[in-house]
Amino acid sequence: MLYKRYIEIGRVCFIRLGDDVGKSAVVVDLVDQKHLMVDGPGGLGRKVVRLNQVALTDIKINIPRGCKTKTVRTALAKEGVEAKLAATSLVKKFAAKNAKAQLGDFARFKNRVAKTASNRKIRSTVRKLKKSS
Amino acid sequence: MAHTSRNTTLPGGVPKLSRSAVYKKRALYKRKKVATVPAVKEAALTKTKTVAGEKNGGTRVVAVQKSPRFYPTEDSKTPLKNRRVIKPTKLRTTIVPGSVVILLAGSHRGKRVVVLKQLPSGLLLVTGPYKINGVPLRRVDQTYVIATSTKVDLPALPAIGDEIFKRKGKPTKNEKEMFVDNAGDNSYKISAEKVALQKEIDALVVPAVKKVDMLQSYLRSRFTLTKGQFPHEMQF
């Protein structure tokens, strides 16, 4: 099998480009070869997105094609999708990237100092191990 | 009792009610105030003066205010009064006394520095502190500075103005001295007063800096851009 995650009705996806970056949504319908109709919790609502704006997750829920937003929301709550999403690497990586971008100059400095210190330790331990072997 | 305007303004800046309509609405026919004009004391234009000398008639009627000796040939318009109020430059909201700031120009470019206050001239008064990174008490324009979100809790500092930064003017050359090689050293020398003031300020600011973990080493380091870093995308 070349692909593991398929675009299908009920596939939970993560929006990686555009205005709604970082939000997750469920595929509700297919518009054409390049567009999906998604519906997401919170401020996203129902929206048409391009295929390349979206990254697929492993999570899939059972919903009929083109169902109402209310149905989508109840199905998401029933499956506990929010908790599953928080565990996905896509969401975690996005959150980490965001947090890094929001760092101030002082925080960046502290991180850099900590990184050089840890790198130094790692290198010295590796060198010691090489010597002893 | 006071009320808001009894008239409204329509779009276009036109008042809705005319002057007479407003008069009626305010019932000013009932409330006419007759102002009692105080009687104007007419100032005397002339006075009589006693004149010495037998043949001079004893008294003379003289104008109280002498007419001017000179009249301009044409009446010139008086220029409008200058009502300008000079205020110091509006300081960026991100810059506050105690905020750490990155200098972008000058010999100290890239250095992270503490803002002490805004001077009446509008410039920022800034110091390394000198003990930490070698930046003395210096004036800096806020446009040549990146404000970071880091703030130092500063204690009460002595009052400093723009006066200590004023430089003495160049000595005017005498005609005799023009051909003499001016061997005098006109380069800038730091006054003892400034050195003392710097020590005083450092004694107050450095302990405040040391209270925050790693802040001293942060102020010692210079700001640099590495690959992939773009200032317009970075949060300071």
Closest CA to A23 of A10, A13, A34, A8: A13
Q: Provide the pLDDT for residue A95.
A: 92
> What is the average pLDDT across A31-50?
90
Go through B200-222 and write b for each residue having 16 or more CB atoms within 10 A of its CB, e for each that does not.
Answer: ebbeebbebbeebeebbebbeee
> What is the average pLDDT across A104-125?
95
Q: Provide the pLDDT for residue A43.
A: 76
Average predicted confidence (pLDDT) for chain A:
92
Phi (first) and psi of residue B217, to 5 degrees: -65, -30
Q: Provide the pLDDT for residue A129.
A: 94
pTM of the model: 0.67
Cβ separation A106–B215 shorter than 8 A:
yes
Residue of A nearest to B234 (CA): A101
Contacts of B146 (CB under 8 A, 6+ apart): B101, B102, B104, B223, B231, B236
Q: Provide the pLDDT for residue A56.
A: 94
Residue of A nearest to B231 (CA): A105
- Report whether B142 contacts B95 (CB < 8 A): yes
Q: Pairing mode, if any, of strands B138-140 and B124-127?
A: antiparallel
- Nearest chain B CA: its distance from A94 CA (Å): 17
Q: Provide the pLDDT for residue B180.
A: 58
Task: List per-block mean pLDDT (blocks of 10 residues) for chain B, which spans 236 residues.
Answer: 87 93 92 82 82 82 86 85 87 94 95 94 93 94 95 92 82 61 68 91 94 94 92 92
How long is chain A?
133
Residue of A nearest to B101 (CA): A105
Sign (positive/negative) of CA torsion A124, A125, A130, A131?
positive
Contacts of B90 (CB under 8 A, 6+ apart): none
- Nearest chain B CA: its distance from A20 CA (Å): 19
Structure tokens at B206: 């450095």
Q: Provide the pLDDT for residue B49.
A: 84
A110 interface with B at CB cutoff 8 Å: yes
B221 interface with A at CB cutoff 8 Å: yes
Residue of B nearest to A99 (CA): B235
A104 interface with B at CB cutoff 8 Å: yes
Q: Which amino acid is at B33?
A: K
Q: What is the distance between the alpha carbons of residues A87 and A80, in angstroms, rounded to a whole number?
A: 12
Q: Provide the pLDDT for residue B45.
A: 83
- List, in sequence order, every beta strand (DSSP E) within B27-160: 46-50, 59-63, 99-103, 112-118, 124-127, 138-140, 145-151
- Report whether A76 contacts A26 (CB < 8 A): yes
Phi (first) and psi of residue B98, to 5 degrees: 105, -10
**Hey, which residues does B117 pair with through a beta bridge?**
B125
Cβ separation B102–A101 shorter than 8 A:
no
Closest CA to A13 of A98, A99, A95, A90: A90
Convert the pLDDT of each residue in A85-96 to its tens digit.
999 999 999 999
Q: What is the distance between the alpha carbons of residues B69 and B232, in angstroms, rounded to a whole number?
A: 69
Structure tokens at A68: 């109402």
Burial of A129 (0-12, 13-18, 19+ CB in 10 A): exposed
> What is the average pLDDT across A72-80?
91
Q: What is the distance between the alpha carbons of residues B225 and A105, in angstroms, rounded to a whole number?
A: 11
A112 interface with B at CB cutoff 8 Å: no
